[in-house]
Structure 1
Amino acid sequence: MNAIHSVSSPTPVSIPFDSPGQLNPLIQQIAEAAPETDTEGAFPEEAFNWLAEAGLLSITLPGHELDFNRGQTARLLQLLKRIGSANLAVGRVYEGHINALYLIHLYASPEQRSNWYTDVIQHKRLFSVWNTQADNGVRIDEFTTSTGDPAYRLTGTKTFGSGGKWIQRPLITGDLRATDKQGWQMAIVPTEQVEPIAQDERFWKPLGMRASASFKLDFTGIHLKDNDLLGQPGDYLRQPYFSGGAIRFAAVQLGGAEAIYEATRQFLATLNRTDDILQQTRLAEMACLIESGNHWLRAAGENTDRWLAEGVDWQKIVAFANMTRTAIEEICLRVMPLAERCVGARGLLRPHPFERIHRDLTLYLRQPAPDATLVDIGKFVLTNAQLSDELWR
């Protein structure tokens, strides 16, 4: 197993984003712009310009407010939730950006880190992680250039490439076939230095999340240098980082449920229905569900940082992440029909936001292997001798 690089962190840049109301203007701005990009082939480019201006593309880098080296996962999850509450498509792509930066934090060399962090800080470049593929997935074949230097030729496609052509630094995975190493390898493609990546927009005809621009992309003919490879074969799947990352997309999902909850309250106030006892009962249940999700996120963030620092069994970290993911999915699935009953058919018509948010959240909840996730939780608790009161301490 390769050592995970770490770097010392300077004094954090102060961005008190989680103080009361600090992010509200930005969140409202992104939310108000969301309907404009709710079409296939569109992308919320303006929203990411706003995130860059606010310093949120670089917020997890060394010396910044949520520096990965400082154990700020609970606060990061709250940030992801807030952005998801504004626009789930923006939240999905932003989470991919954070995911890529975390993998760089874990596995990059100091030189690579310096280069990729410069891409974010100075050039405001968007990163993402594109791992999903169909039968004709990506291969990474080593070859020698005319100058005798090692290089790599890509063939094959990725599906669900969120952000598409708007991502300047996609982190992709593929089957590496080289002389001295083979396996599932990460690489970061410097898009302005290689041939254009063929983009098939016909692939993306979704129920929701249209603005995430999750196209099919063909990397055939792309050439990479040795320094474009990230980590070693197999690092991408290393636990607890692979499965433990589910808490990040769960945070974005909860943001969608929270947006539905807030829109429901506003809709009922507009209709002067806040005195209706049945509406009060539904809103009470929604409030309990949303706050339950917040407790899950807080515990997941705090436990992840503490357990990683203590070096506990990675299976415990993954099991709690899986529970968080499962619980928040269930919370979202319960909030949506409650909101539907509150607002009725009238509320599900455009330009009200319910119709779009419901479509987006319905699709975004469909994450890989939910049944296997439950099985893994069950295996962990059934094979652990600790009392339930002690198991997650």
Structure 2
Amino acid sequence: MTDQLYQNIKENAAGIDTEGAFPEQEFKWMAAAGLLGNTIADTEKYPIKTASVLKLLKRVGNANLSVGRIYEGHINALKLIDLYGNESQKIHWFKEVKSEKKLFSVWNTQADNGIKIHDLGDGFYRLEGCKTFCSGAGWIDRPLITGELISADKKGWQMCIVPTEKVKPIAVDSSFWKPFGMRASASFKMDFTGVEIQEKDLLGQPDQYYQQPYFSGGAIRFAAVQLGGAEAVLSETQGFLRMLGRTDDPFQQARIAEMTYLVESGNSWLNQAGNNTDNWIKESNSAEKIMVYTGMARTAIAEICTRVMHLSEQCVGARGLMRPNPLERIHRDLTFYLRQPAPDATLTGIGAYVLNQEKTDDLWN
């Protein structure tokens, strides 16, 4: 990601901070820069390092958390294709990304009227139901959705990728989206009832979506975007204090110092979690260890973000948290984005894992 692209996204963030907005121009810039397909490995011999993907996500999140959220969903979908797609599917979908600049995402969240995938026979399926929090909503070309497969041959939680321009229009309900922050992520409710897809659109086998460590381990990606938001808070806070000439105040110096080492510790968590994942995935019986370490990194980064925002508030006061100062938007976006599923279960899972070990020395070696 070039510095100029990063700066363009950052400068445009305030202009799209409205409900119903989508960072359309930003993704045109990113597509032109090759960022839609740059996490796809050319060969198995030269895999993409997880730490480098996390660094990229962090930098996009630093520029605009809404863009980072949508980009993380795109990368998530490509990862699932790489894990569970057959060879012809990988060739087809990866070509759509690289050559046709198609934007992918993963929509798994649903309420009572969730997705059912009805087997019609002869390789055809009909969808029924809705997904919620569909980031990118009507702008995503290839949504990867999950649902209950209703078939005589097999059952379970099935992934499928919907070719949006080849099916009936998907109903969009934007009235659902009245968020505190992340307004420009356009996370609407989508009704897939009546949409028909084919066998080739089904990804993997039923229940593979929740296969570990990939499901829980993926949390490190949204943590990377979140840490980018914390970095942005530090940068804007430092700039605000310099503008006010408050750089000689020892209390401000102490707060900035703490924010700085907190963000740097987050960078260390990201880098180590990425390297550990790549190393441990080659080992047998390593799934739980990967999940737990990812859970620690996710939890630590969430605490880092919360503390950095609190210190920033003390530094800048009410004046610094008013529009048009970017801190007002970044604080809203990061606070909202930190509300990720199952934080308590993640924390207790870490504790249970450690308590079940014979000793705590060298747990991660």
Q: 1:224 aligns with which of 187, 191, 197?
A: 197
Residue identity in the other structure for 1:38? D
Q: 1:94 aligns with which of 62, 71, 82?
A: 71
User: For 2:329 and 2:284, how far apart are their aligned partners in 1?
Assistant: 42
Contact conserved, 1:156 with 1:219, CA < 8 A, in 2?
A: yes
What TM-score results when the alignment is normalised by the length of structure 2? 0.98
Residue identity in the other structure for 1:370? P
- Deviation of the 1:310 alpha carbon: 2.5
| 1:152 to 2:125 alignment | yes
Structure 1 outlier segments of 4+, above 3 Å: none
Equivalent runs, 1:1-393 vs 2, <5 Å: 17=1, 23-63=2-42, 70-144=47-121, 149-385=122-358, 387-393=359-365
User: For 1:138 and 1:127, how far apart are their aligned partners in 2?
Assistant: 18
Residue identity in the other structure for 1:390? D
Residue identity in the other structure for 1:254? L
Question: Between Structure 1 and Structure 2, how many residues are aligned?
Answer: 365
- Deviation of the 1:390 alpha carbon: 1.1
SS in 2 for 1:160: strand
SS in 1 for 2:149: strand
User: For 2:239 and 2:360, how far apart are their aligned partners in 1?
Assistant: 40
- Deviation of the 1:71 alpha carbon: 4.6
User: For 1:300 and 1:331, how far apart are their aligned partners in 2?
Assistant: 16
Question: Identity percentage over the alignment?
Answer: 61
Residue identity in the other structure for 1:322? G
User: For 1:164 and 1:379, how far apart are their aligned partners in 2?
Assistant: 38
User: For 1:94 and 1:378, how far apart are their aligned partners in 2?
Assistant: 32
Could you tell me which runs of 5 or more consecutive residues in structure 1 were left unpaired when the two chains were aligned: 1-16, 18-22
- Deviation of the 1:69 alpha carbon: 5.5
Contact conserved, 1:39 with 1:211, CA < 8 A, in 2?
A: yes
Could you tell me which runs of 5 or more consecutive residues in structure 2 were left unpaired when the two chains were aligned: none
Mark the CA change 1:68 to 1:83 in structure 2 (over 3 Å): closer, same or farther: farther
SS in 1 for 2:189: strand
User: For 2:236 and 2:42, how far apart are their aligned partners in 1?
Assistant: 36
CA RMSD of aligned residues (A): 1.2
Structure-2 residue corresponding to 1:11: none
User: For 2:272 and 2:45, how far apart are their aligned partners in 1?
Assistant: 17
- Deviation of the 1:389 alpha carbon: 3.2
Residue identity in the other structure for 1:88? L
SS in 2 for 1:273: coil
Q: Deviations over 1:61-86 (max 9, x none)?
A: 1329xx89615001111110000000
- Deviation of the 1:272 alpha carbon: 1.0
- Deviation of the 1:313 alpha carbon: 2.1
Contact conserved, 2:39 with 2:48, CA < 8 A, in 1?
A: no
Q: Deviations over 1:270-292 (max 9, x none)?
A: 11111111100000000111011
- Deviation of the 1:118 alpha carbon: 1.1
Contact conserved, 1:68 with 1:105, CA < 8 A, in 2?
A: no
